[in-house]
Amino acid sequence: MSNSRLKIWLSAFRLRTLPLALSCVFMGTALAFSLGKFNIFIFIATIVTTILLQILSNLANDYGDGVKGTDNENRIGPQRAVQSGSISLKGMKTAIIINVLLCLLSGCFLLFLSFGASHFLLALLFLLLGVASIAAAIKYTVGSNAYGYSGFGDLAVFVFFGLVGVMGTHFLFALHLDWLNILPAICIGLFSVGVLNLNNMRDIENDKASQKNTIPVVLGLTNAKRYHLLVLTIALSSILVYSLLTYRSLMQLLYFLVLPLFVKHLIEVKKCLHNKDFNPMLPKLAIATFLLSLLFFIGEMLSKH
């Protein structure tokens, strides 16, 4: 593969979306670490599987929006691979199939590391969750009944990036559920919803013309900004309440260092007047979310010593 083709595929992978996807892994691992449950091999396998799932989602999104014509010259965001013609529909479909197989292989290896042969039913349950994650990644924009076109994208992101991503990661280490962990799961899930909402506020006009009924299309831009404020406020409140309920050491509050970034973000979003103004907001919120989860992880490590 030539360097130019490699660059095209790397662009289609949308590697800048990976920090947000990994936030749930770091948060879930931190929760397990706080209980003394950590395995470096499970950690690495979880990261690899999560990256593959995120890339699958990006490729499927490129394919689905490309087929439907939603990615067109009126779109404000970066030009997509299918839209530009740099990758054919056939080539993208082949890449999606290959990525599905890689997700399954990586996921099965992860389940073997976590559950071995002694927890077959748990492994089977997580395998079904993995298949559901793959299906959710594809069906967001692909097919005639793609749920991303019916306003359910936010719910799916919340469930898979938050509840499943965080609590599922914790379970892979600890092999049990702690329902208090739903608070940090809500936090990461809602921050992820916030990133999607920014994307949809940016694309509101083009999505409306393409009959992609996202939350901003349904609510209108003004109410979508209020929705954004509500989502991020609940996210921050969730992690703060969790810290209060589980407080052991000042180190657990290390993630407080990034809270000003979220406040600054909300102020900037309020000031956004044009659709294109939301574009630089996406990576900022994604990175802030990743930093929060990373500092939360480091804080839990330090508080154990």
Query: Tell me: the pLDDT tens digits for 118-167?
Result: 888 999 999 999 999 999 988 888 877 788 888 888 999 999 999 999 99
The pLDDT of residue 74 is 62
The pLDDT of residue 146 is 80
The pLDDT of residue 73 is 66
Average pLDDT, the chain: 90
- pLDDT confidence band for 22 (50 / 70 / 90): very high
For range 212-223, the mean pLDDT: 92
The pLDDT of residue 261 is 96
pLDDT digits (tens, 9 = 90+) for 184-215: 999 999 999 999 999 999 989 888 888 888 99
- pLDDT confidence band for 80 (50 / 70 / 90): confident
- In residues, how long is the chain? 305
pLDDT digits (tens, 9 = 90+) for 86-129: 888 899 999 999 999 999 999 999 999 999 888 889 999 999 99
CA distances from 149 to 7, 84, 114, 119 (A): 29, 22, 36, 38
pTM: 0.93
What share of the chain in percent tops pLDDT 90? 67
Query: Which DSSP string corresponds to 185-250?
Result: HHHHHHHHHHHHHHHHHHTHHHHHHTT---HHHHH-HHHHHHHHHHHHHHHHHHHHHHHHHT---G
The pLDDT of residue 83 is 76
- pLDDT confidence band for 75 (50 / 70 / 90): low
For range 217-227, the mean pLDDT: 94
pLDDT digits (tens, 9 = 90+) for 268-294: 999 988 888 898 999 999 999 999 999
Report the C-alpha gap between 49 and 156 in whole angstroms: 18
On the question of pLDDT at 232 being above 80, the answer is yes
Say if residues 46 and 169 touch (Cβ distance below 8 Å).
yes
The pLDDT of residue 149 is 83
